[in-house]
Amino acid sequence: MQEISKLLRENGLKVTPQRLAIYNMLMNTDKHPSAETIYKELVVDNPSISLATVYKTLDSFKSSGLVSELNVGDNCARYDAVTKSHSHIVCTCCGRVEDIKFDIFNNISEKAAEKTDYKILYEQLIFYGLCPECIKKQND
């Protein structure tokens, strides 16, 4: 939590127990939770937290560049403490969102910039499909 307090202060954010809890949760998950998921998990140990606080906190984290927001198309933003650009894969059946951790997409922004003469600000690469568990369930 020391580290997180420092990080929040460095980014001009006041340190509050709610902010610490939310960032800590995001840092320790690779599940890309939505605001509702974050709220439901945190309210168990932090009864004073509200969904509105979670939304507000995520907004300030986003503006400070501490988290990235991912819109996977189900009208529900997902949040990621990994802000370095990376690709995602989404299961259209259960809604899970995972990182794609191989490097065929390395330097994809540079390549796009080269071909288009744009200055690329960010990229978002999302693949949609069925996860292995959902495929298994369908075959059962």
Binding mask 58-87 for Zn ion (x = CB under 5 A): ----------------------x-------
Angstrom CA distances, 63 to 66, 83, 108, stand at: 8, 12, 25
91 binds Zn ion (CB under 5 A): yes
Closest to Zn ion by CB, 19 vs 32, is 32
For the bound state, the minimum distance from the C-beta of residue 115 to Zn ion, rounded and expressed in Å, comes to 25
Q: Closest Cα to residue 87, out of 8, 32, 13?
A: 32
Binding site for Zn ion (CB under 5 A): 80, 91, 93-94, 99, 131, 134
